[in-house]
Structure 1
């Protein structure tokens, strides 16, 4: 018998806040302003893992450019 691990396809705003070490309010604001892309799923917002990666990469790039 083979065990299969199901990988999460998207995250809640609260999960992304925990991943980034941000508060929930800040993360919700980033989602509402489009800083972190999201998709609407009924009444909820869901954030794809690649959207989190895009945000982190953009912030890192901005920080590096600002330091130069």
Structure 2
């Protein structure tokens, strides 16, 4: 549980903007492009990109497995 709290805090510090594109997230988080697209494909896309809060939730809960 402590790991999840630390992960969420780290993501909140790293992701300061309101919206991000998949390309920006790939660079910021150091993900491979294919993994990023697979991870974020279900996140709602806005014209500006994906919302920061949606991203933190996806990353935070994807580590349950």
Superposition TM-score tier, normalisation by shorter sequence: 0.5 to 0.7
Q: Give ranges in structure 1 of 5+ residues lacking alignment.
A: 1-6, 64-68
Q: Give ranges in structure 2 of 5+ residues lacking alignment.
A: 1-15
Structure 1 segments (4+ residues) deviating >4 Å: none
Greater RCO (CA < 8 Å, at least 6 residues apart):
2
Number of aligned pairs? 50
Normalising by structure 2, report the TM-score: 0.56
Normalising by structure 1, report the TM-score: 0.54
Instruction: Give the structure with the larger helix fraction.
Output: 2
**Largest Rg, 1 or 2:** 1
What is the alpha-carbon root mean square deviation over aligned residues? 2.2
